[in-house]
Every structure is written in C-alpha cells, then in structure tokens.
Structure 1
C-alpha cells in the first residue's frame, strides 16, 4: 500500500513539473528502504528556515547549475516560479547577471559559488549572510547548497543523466551561465 502511495506521489510530481521521475521510480521499485532514505533526504533539501524564496532559490539554482545544465535545473526553475519568485530574478540568477539582481540575492549567488569552489572569500560573505539572516539563515543556505548537488549526482550515477539543455523561464529559453569563480577554489585547496 505504501508503495502505491509513493507511486502516485511520483506521478503527481511528473505531471506538476513535467519532470522525468524514472530514477525515483526505479529506486522505489528496487528498494522501499532506499526510497524512504531519499524521501528523508528531501526533508533536508526542502528546508526553508526563515528565508524568503528569492535567496533560497538563488542558492538552489546556482548549486544545481554547478552540476547540471538540464532537467534538474529546469525543475528548480519551475519550483521557483511556482513560489512566485519574479521571472526576471530567476533569469538573472541563471544568467549570473549580477547587475540585475538585488544586492542580497547577488550576495547569495557569490556565496554559493565561493562555497562550492572552496574559495576562502566565502568567509567574508558568510559574515554578511549572518548579519542579514542570522545562524538559521546560514544553515538554510548551507542545506540548499549541499543538498541540491545530490540530485544530479544521483541521477548520473544511476544512468539518468542528460545532456545539457536550454532552460525555460516562462517564454524565454536560456543556457545556464557558469561562473569563472568555479576554478578559483582549486588554487586554495
């Protein structure tokens, strides 16, 4: 019975977001225990703490773009739009157009990329994040950054990775922009 409920939940997600859920269906079909662990992990990745949706999705999008340039990124875009994040902000996050982002959102974009690159410049930005949203906000962003990288890795490991594709934000079609800061962390390890 529980597998039936989870199957319906996955089909609902597929329909709602036009997202390929086959990798989750295969996990469920193979091992209920493994699927329950994935569901438990999703409670971490969906944590929003005290943050408004814009900084949440700035961290989630930049983290997922680090490892994916296709369906996972599109899913997060669709979720951001569903949460009423302004499409112009979503586009600017995807394009990494810092001049078009509010200062707080640009801060989150830079912080996310410095964290992922293991760049020590994240330390200064962390202090600014603490001033804005406190320890709870920092923990929430840390969850966003770390957990959103899991989905592309899981899909690729299971053989469901896709080639890059353009991301749609309403009627616009974009190619995710990756930052030059991605390589900076290697110098500091």
Structure 2
C-alpha cells in the first residue's frame, strides 16, 4: 500500500536526498570551476595533472546522478528504480576506488580520506532502497518482466493464473499492468480502514474468492484487524463507517449507480471529495483483477457462492 509517509519512509528520503545534494554540489563545482575543484579536493592530485574537459565530463555524470536521486527522494516507494539508476555512477565510482587501492594504484591513506565522500553516498542510497524493499513498500514498476512475473507467480500461485498470458501479450503489457497495480494500492487522504473496506466490498461483489483472500491479506499486512475484516465480509460490519465504505465499494462493482451515488454523497458529506475519490479508485481497482481472470477463461478460479448461500 502507498499511503502517507511514515518515519522509515522519511529516513529513506533523507538518505537519498543527502546523496543527491552531494552529487549535485560536486557536479556543479566541477562544471563551474574545474581547476578550483581540483585544488579543493587535495587527494585528486595524486591521480595526475588537471584536465578541465575531463573534470567537466565527470561533473556531468555527477549532476545527472544527483537529478535522478532528487526525483527518487520525492517518493522512494514509487521511484526506487530511479534511485537504483541514479546510484549506479556513485557505486561504480566507489568500486573503482576500491580496485585502485587493492592493486596499489592508490595509497590506503588517500583511499580512507576519500571514502566518506566517495563511498558514503552510494551506501546511503542502497541502505534507503534496502529499507523499502525489506518492508515490501516499493512499486513493482521498475522490476523487469521476467522477474516481476516470477515473483508474482510465487506470491499468489493459482489465485492469479493470468501472469503467463500477460508476459506473452507484447506491447509492454506487463509494465502497463504494473502501473495499474500501483493505482490499486493508492491512498493518501482517506483513512486506510475505509480504503480496505471499499476494496474488500468491491472485490467481494465480483464473487472472486481468491481475489478476496488476496485483498484481505493485503489489508492484514497493512495492520487491519482480521475479525473486523471477517465481520464486514459476512455482512456484520463493526461500525457505520465500515458499512458505508464496504457498501460503497460493492455498489460500484455491481454497477448499481443510484446506490453508489447516494453512498458517495454520504461519504463526501462526512469527509470530503478527495476521500470519496480515493475510495472510488480503491473500489474500481477491485474489479480489475477478477475481470482479467474472467476474460482469459479463468472464471472457475474466481467464482465463489453468494454470501447468503455460503458465508466466507
């Protein structure tokens, strides 16, 4: 899920942002005053006489890296791929320094004097990415198609059997689907419990048992109470707000426009238009995955009895 930033998100932002500022500052210095940069960085003199053109070339690399990292720092969960790309040059730069000290080109004294500025930013960015990956708080968008498909098949198995079809569809279908997955996890203004209730109601209205279990699992991972979710699924929501969000999602999924409009107006009156919008997106995304399964002939993997016949 991609809600408001928490403390660890802010830490990841700070780590990437610090690396970005260092790269931009260094790049700007090298571009504007290459000989001044050469004199300022005392250890660089051991590598030979200055060359303004080469210094500016390297400054461009630092500047590009810094810009990519700035972009990533604004939202590490969604833009961690940009952080990876932006961190390639600092990382390889650090690897070069390590290689040179190992083979004797650079003295250990110079290496350790350079280490904070050379290795520090790269380590900071990889640490930030690691924080997000460890929490599974990352967008699937940057993942290459084979890796993404393999990961999803391992995670959901037969519950979502269409990943093989998507991988063969061509036209970057998998990458576009990854963006749809990001939208399905969006919330910012709305309380997360309302988001999960709207998505649960929408998915349940689609009569898709495996999809309901996936949505319930996502809600549990986001801190929702299992009994609370179960009560909503069996038609006994624990609060009026749970009932309102759940029924709103169900009305959207079932195509009941009059009921959806009435419930949406109630949500807007109780909260505001932005929250109604986010609940609408949550409910709409709940229809996507069951619809794909039905369209590709996997209806038997999706259909479950109505609640009145067989409560979950």
TM-score if structure 2 supplies the norm length?
A: 0.47
Matched, 1:66 2:205: yes
Q: Which of 220, 234, 241 is 1:104 aligned to?
A: 241
* 8 Å CA contact retained: 2:204, 2:250: no
Q: Which of 285, 290, 294 is 1:156 aligned to?
A: 294
Give deviations 1:5-50, integer Å, cap 9, x for gaps.
3332333334445564431232113315222222222232221131
* 8 Å CA contact retained: 1:95, 1:176: no
Computing the radius of gyration from Cα coordinates, the structure with the larger value is 2
* Equivalence for 1:35: 174
TM-score if structure 1 supplies the norm length?
A: 0.74
* Equivalence for 2:4: none
* 8 Å CA contact retained: 1:17, 1:78: no
Give deviations 1:100-130, integer Å, cap 9, x for gaps.
x122111112223334342524434323311
Matched, 1:24 2:163: yes
Matched, 1:76 2:215: yes
> Measured at CA, do residues 4 and 29 of structure 1 come closer, stay the same or move farther in structure 2, by a change above 3 Å?
farther
User: Considering only aligned residues, what root-mean-square deviation do their CA atoms show, in Å?
Assistant: 2.7
> Measured at CA, do residues 130 and 31 of structure 1 come closer, stay the same or move farther in structure 2, by a change above 3 Å?
same
* Equivalence for 2:230: 91
Query: RCO higher in 1 or 2 (8 Å CA, sep ≥ 6)?
Result: 1
Q: Name stretches of at least 5 consecutive residues in structure 1 with no aligned partner.
A: 166-174, 179-189
Take 2:142 and 2:262, find their aligned partners in 1: how far apart are those partners? 46
Take 1:49 and 1:128, find their aligned partners in 2: how far apart are those partners? 20
Take 1:102 and 1:73, find their aligned partners in 2: how far apart are those partners? 20
Q: What secondary structure, in the 3-state scheme, does the structure 1 residue paired with 2:268 have?
A: helix
Q: Which of 132, 139, 152 is 2:277 aligned to?
A: 139
Take 1:136 and 1:11, find their aligned partners in 2: how far apart are those partners? 36
* 8 Å CA contact retained: 2:145, 2:174: no
* 8 Å CA contact retained: 1:59, 1:112: yes
Take 1:29 and 1:121, find their aligned partners in 2: how far apart are those partners? 39
